[in-house]
Structure formats: structure tokens, C-alpha cells
Amino acid sequence: MNSLINIYSIPTFNETSDYFNALSRSIIFQQLSGKAAETIYNRYLNLFKNRCPTPEEVIDFDVTILRSAGISQQKTEYLKGLARYFSKQENKIDFIQLTGTAVFNELIKLKGIGQWTIDMFLMFTLHRVDILPVTDLGIQKGFKILFGLDYLPSNEYMVNKSNPWRPYRTIASFYLWRVVDDIDFSKIL
């Protein structure tokens, strides 16, 4: 890991308390390459005034127009469900005050939100420093490269190998992504 730290810049993470849009972004990015996801996400943002949709706008937005931005039918349903969740007054949760487990238990109830989306939310929105998103293909590829493997590692392998990086596995993940994609994530997150 030291060699990666010496090669790549120090990670930066942008501050946001806009939980709805942070989770919307993660939903759109699910199972897509970074470039494709970024294109679709920008088309999605361009549909809304000020490029910052509110939950109420997403609820009321025509599904066909959302789909025309390149968002799948399934993800459109997920975005609308997320919007309904955040539009309810009782769901104005201050996630920053919750433990990682409590955040997981709250968000996993929502259709379309799984471990990967929650990990991204914990890392890039709540700035939790010890998250290792083992379900992320980029992280798996990063382990493969870093440890000279001929195969993608198991979750158990990654957790064991990452123990020396505790309590800063979020930062280590940043470097693993960099070695795979050589992308400056500070420009997109």
C-alpha cells in the first residue's frame, strides 16, 4: 500500500448532507463502468432545475423522461422509491449520528439499495474511514493487482489482507481504485 500512496495523490472527499442525491447517484452508478455511469448521471441531473432534484420532483417526474436519460426501468423504480422515502417527514434521518450498522439497517429496507450502495454512502457521504467495499469489482481487481493474484479474491481474503489498513480502509480503497482505473476520483466524488 505504501507504494500506491507514493504514486497517487492524497484522496479528498466532498462534504454533503444531501443524502437523497448522494444515494440517487449511487443507485445510478450500480453495476456500470465509471464513465458510462457518469454520462447517465449527468443526463439525469440535466433534467432538473439547478441539476439538484428534490425527492418531490423525482416522484412527480415522468418515467419515460427518466428512462430517456439512460436509466433502466428497475433503477427508475428504485429512484422513485428512494424519493418517496425521503419525502416523508418521518424519514428526515440524520444519518451522520448513526453507527454504520444502524445506517445499514435503515437503508437496506429500501428496494434497490444493497451492501455496495450502503458502502458508497458510508464512504463518500458520511465519510466513515474504515469501510472496505468487498462487493465492488474495482476493489476486487485492486486486490488482484496489488497482491499479484491470478483470480479475483474472496471477501474473506480481502478482509484478512486489509486488517493492517484498519482503521483507514476507506482511504486504502481509494488507492485500490486508483491502481485499477488510474482515475482522479476527487474530481467525480
* Residues identified as active-site: 136
Q: Which residues contact 155 (CB under 8 A, 6 or more apart)?
A: 134, 135
- Tell me which H or E stretch contains 122: helix 115-124
The Cα–Cα gap between 69 and 63 comes to 10
Three-state SS for 44? helix
Going by the DSSP 8-state scheme, the letter that residue 184 receives in this structure is -
Please state, in angstroms and rounded to a whole number, the distance separating the CA atoms of residues 83 and 80.
Answer: 5
Report the alpha-carbon distance of residue 153 to residue 155 in Å, rounded: 7
